[in-house]
Amino acid sequence: MPGVEAVSPSWVAYISNSLNRQTFQLEGTVPEKDRDDAEDVNVVGNSFFSMLRIPILAGRAFGPQDTLTSAKVGIINAALAKDKFPNQNPIGKRFTVDGGDSDGHGVAKTKEWIQIVGVCGNNRYIDLRGEPPPQYFLPFAQQKEVGGSLTYLIQTRTDPESIVPALRRVVQQQDADLPVTEVRTQEQQIAATTQQERIFVAMTSSFGMLALALASVGIYGVMAYSVANRTNEIGIRLALGAQPRQVLAMILREAMWISLAGIAVGLSAALVLAQLIKSMLYGLQPADPVSLVSGAMLLIAVGLAASWLPAQRAARVQPVEALRHE
């Protein structure tokens, strides 16, 4: 189709909470009854690695020479290579597979050996939360049976939504009864998988903004009350020669100390309570220094801003007003 640069089938759509595991039995090893020899697996097309920018670290990717009648080949990722072949070159090693899943995906139960021809970089599989797991890949062209659903990855530089109707027409030309469902971009796939986390972020951000607003109102009220009670003192300071800017700096300095005291208490509580939501954090540690420091700086800025009006009012106090107040 015009606008389509590459296409690759894939048993598993990444970051979709989908999983496919099959036996990974190395040549020369004996299966043990209580040992789990299954590994994450995906059956993909020749363009899969280049489309998703998964680098081939050693050996080669799948190519047109890998056909149904050619020698069976496979690719493992760096995590699986480190686990199964520590301090070894896995290229040329052989393994066999055995299994299937509820969707009908599965390689025929056979002892046909599959030769490792490449090692690729690691990538996340089920979701964004965990580390990239060990996994291996088999070429789609060498599979005798492919049952159940199948995902096709399509690379295009045009608007993805604009080519969807044409995609459906192409599929219907091949089989009018073949459904095309759940068409989405990879970004939309990730957004759907992380919906719960995004809702959590939106809620906590809203509560955080509300707390920030309440803190601003509280600091403003405290400082305004303090200035009103110290009108006599401020007037005497001005009468004795204090400059308005000195009074302004004094009030802001007091506001700063109040903010710092509150931040110290808040940071202590945050470090303790953050451990309770550690499992909900992605790419962030509970004691992340950048987040804590930036949050503290924001609170200091808000505290100074909330104290600015009371400080300005204090700097404009006239000595005669102080005498009248007394």
Give per-residue pLDDT as tens, 137-186: 999 999 887 767 789 999 998 888 888 998 889 999 999 888 888 899 88
Alpha carbon of 237 to those of 158, 243, 245: distances in Å?
Answer: 70, 9, 12
In this predicted model, what pLDDT tens digit does every residue of 238-278 receive, in sequence order?
777 888 888 888 888 888 888 888 888 888 888 888 777 77
Mean pLDDT of 279-298: 78
In this prediction, residue 103 carries a pLDDT of 45
Determine contact, residues 45/9, Cβ cutoff 8 Å: yes
Determine contact, residues 123/52, Cβ cutoff 8 Å: yes
Mean pLDDT of 207-214: 88
The full set of domain ranges for the chain reads 4-155, 195-325
Burial of 241 (0-12, 13-18, 19+ CB in 10 A): exposed
Determine contact, residues 14/124, Cβ cutoff 8 Å: yes
In this prediction, residue 215 carries a pLDDT of 81
Q: How far apart are CA 37 and CA 245, in angstroms?
A: 75
**pLDDT band, very low/low/confident/very high, at 85 (cuts 50, 70, 90):** very high
DSSP 8-state assignment for residue 167: H
Place of tokens 């280049």: 50
In this predicted model, what pLDDT tens digit does every residue of 274-287 receive, in sequence order?
777 776 666 677 77
φ and ψ at residue 188, rounded to 5 degrees? -65, -35
Average pLDDT of the residues of the chain = 84
* Model confidence, pTM: 0.68
Place of tokens 């939501």: 277
| Residue percentage of the chain with pLDDT more than 70 | 91
Q: Per-residue pLDDT for 101 more than 50? A: no
Positive or negative, the CA dihedral 166, 168, 171, 173 is negative
Determine contact, residues 216/150, Cβ cutoff 8 Å: no
More confident residue, 320 or 134: 134
Residues 6 or more apart in contact with residue 103 via CB below 8 angstroms: 20, 147, 148, 149
Determine contact, residues 194/128, Cβ cutoff 8 Å: yes
Beta-strand pair 25-26/99-100: unpaired
Show the tokens assigned to 81: 């290579």
In this predicted model, what pLDDT tens digit does every residue of 184-195 receive, in sequence order?
988 888 888 888
Tell me the chain's radius of gyration from C-alpha atoms. 32
* Three-state secondary structure call for residue 110: coil
**pLDDT band, very low/low/confident/very high, at 100 (cuts 50, 70, 90):** very low
More confident residue, 139 or 291: 139
Q: Find the range with the poorest average confidence among 71-80, 98-107, 317-326.
A: 98-107
Q: How far apart are CA 41 and CA 107, in angstroms?
A: 11
More confident residue, 213 or 102: 213
